[in-house]
Chain A
């Protein structure tokens, strides 16, 4: 990519996304209210069940993961959904931009928001429910965060693909898709308890391996021998595949006139 023109294009999407988050009361709600509700409800449930500290950490990690991935991927999904809702979808595409500009810009803001959620929920988990976030060490945290971020980008790209393919009908995917993924990869439970078909499906989701790796610092056995290698390898494959799929879907949208229909 040639700088600085590419930089300005990425910055355009990032700054727009940032303004949206600053001005939209629901975006603020997403960042504070739901993560707060999640930590309190799950944390209090673990207290009521009188679980041991390791199991409490296991469950709280699931809650932190769910909200971090969801918030990060929403920023990517919103990068097109807001254009659809404002009927301005064709304008970004009449400019000389690639999907990569949009994704990088939106992901940058998604990453910041995800990091913030992770920090807030991590702090609440430590402060209120005694979870020890220092156990995985800095490197463990960095790998886990990177894993969450890559998973969110993949989910975001799949949501964008659905929006370009099915338009308004796919809006619900922005919220539902990540929950489905998290359900499979062992949000509040080990994947070993999943029914056989779902267990195999979980092995195809990189988040399963990042959760496996992170929870292992809290005394839970590794379910796969090299979780980080599996996780990052799968992420690399899925990132390339979902980007290719997104571009292919955009081409299909240009053929079907979907950009025009979604701008009406």
Chain B
């Protein structure tokens, strides 16, 4: 599938005052987001995630480099890009005096929609995001969760080909955050919609994203599939073997798939590339030894570990 987003050497800095030097927020960022993927841009606060996303959504002009979204240049074809994308910001803000359905109607019309088609779309979205009972409720009276659901409904009003979600679960309770994540995953699964999501929530990225990029202080530190990045940084699943007495006398480093190992009293800690594939072979090798294994503990590698490895 062709790339939905391609960026080369994106730079952005902001002036901090008349006589002060500008603050560089993005340094030479390259990015490629495949079509149909849920792509995560990860990084701590102030990493430049929102700046990058704002350039790609045509809300901010880059100082240098170039970027294309759906094959269109973000500077010269901004209007045509806007017809085909949409954005949900980290905290949902809309005009307080508009009701849920008026809000959706307003944004739908901004995309040139109207009449029965728009009304049908609004009803469908309100049902999908479970906000139909609040259709007459003013935005200012909605709870944070409802506001975020309305923001997500708004992002789909123009049936976009590419969706940008800027920290979509920030400020939500765990149940609502999980609901939103499931909705995002469902959208991608059922419609093939390309989604670029910025987050500093690693669990969220782990659950949703097929590929990720790590940003820190405006620089792209790593980019790729989570499993490839794990391999590149020597990170893997943890297998802890607890022996009844002393550990089996094996060269653990030579076992297939073992990236790292450490022997500690009666315990052996292994880091393997994929535990579910390698565990049978490890157990078979151990069965040749007279030492009895009392316990096997498994812990899958998480994105947090990868994040720590890359950003520190």
Contacts and interface: CB of A to CB of B under 8 A. Distances in A.
Given A19-B97, A94-B82, A8 B113 contact: yes
Contact of A256 (B15, B80, B87, B111): B15
A83 B60 CA distance: 18
A255 B14 CA distance: 9
Nearest to A83: B95
Contact of B112 (A8, A24, A254): A8
B194 interface: no
Interface in A12-26: 12, 15-16, 19-20, 23-24
Nearest to B15: A256
B93 A95 contact: no
B112 A6 contact: yes
Interface residues of B, number: 36
A95 B110 contact: yes
Nearest to A24: B97
B114 interface: yes
A83 B95 CA distance: 7
A11 interface: yes
Contacts of B107: 12, 91, 95
A5 B110 CA distance: 8
Classify the interface of chain A: helix, strand, loop or mixed: helix
B301 to A, nearest CB: 35
A169 to B, nearest CB: 15
Contacts of A97: 110
Interface stretch (B37-45, B50-58, B119-127, B264-272): B50-58
Given A88-B95, A254-B60, A257-B60, A8 B82 contact: no
A227 B15 CA distance: 46
A11 B15 contact: no
Contacts of B89: 90, 263
B109 A259 contact: no
A257 B54 contact: yes
B151 to A, nearest CB: 9
Contacts of A20: 95, 97
Contact of A8 (B59, B87, B94, B109): B109
Contact of A12 (B60, B93, B110): B110
B141 to A, nearest CB: 13
A263 B106 contact: no
Given A11-B114, A19-B98, A94 B61 contact: no
A260 B50 contact: yes
A149 B215 CA distance: 51
B86 interface: yes
B112 A263 contact: no
A86 B93 contact: yes
Contacts of A87: 93
A4 interface: yes
Nearest to A12: B109
Contacts of A96: 79-80, 82-83, 110-112
A157 to B, nearest CB: 20
B82 A95 contact: yes
Interface string A202-219: 000000000000000000
B96 A86 contact: yes
B102 interface: yes
Contacts of A23: 97
Given A90-B59, A254-B59, A257-B60, A9 B95 contact: no
A11 B106 CA distance: 9
Contacts of B111: 95-96
A82 interface: yes
A53 interface: no
B94 A19 contact: no
Interface string A101-142: 100000000000000000000000000000000000000000
Contact of B95 (A7, A86, A98, A263): A86
Interface string A55-97: 0000000000000000000000000001100111011111111
Contact of A15 (B80, B87, B97, B106): B106
Contacts of A15: 106, 109
A189 to B, nearest CB: 40
Nearest to B91: A87
A12 B109 CA distance: 5
Nearest to B102: A19
B112 A9 contact: yes
A16 B82 contact: no
A88 B59 contact: no
Interface in B136-160: 154, 158
A230 B303 CA distance: 69
22 contacts: A7-B114, A11-B114, A12-B109, A12-B110, A15-B106, A16-B106, A82-B95, A83-B95, A88-B94, A90-B59, A90-B87, A91-B107, A92-B110, A94-B57, A94-B87, A95-B110, A95-B158, A96-B80, A96-B111, A251-B61, A257-B60, A259-B60
Interface of A: 4-9, 11-12, 15-16, 19-20, 23-24, 82-83, 86-88, 90-98, 101, 251, 254-257, 259-260, 263
Given A16-B95, A95-B158, A259-B60, 4 more contacts: A4-B112, A12-B110, A15-B109, A95-B110
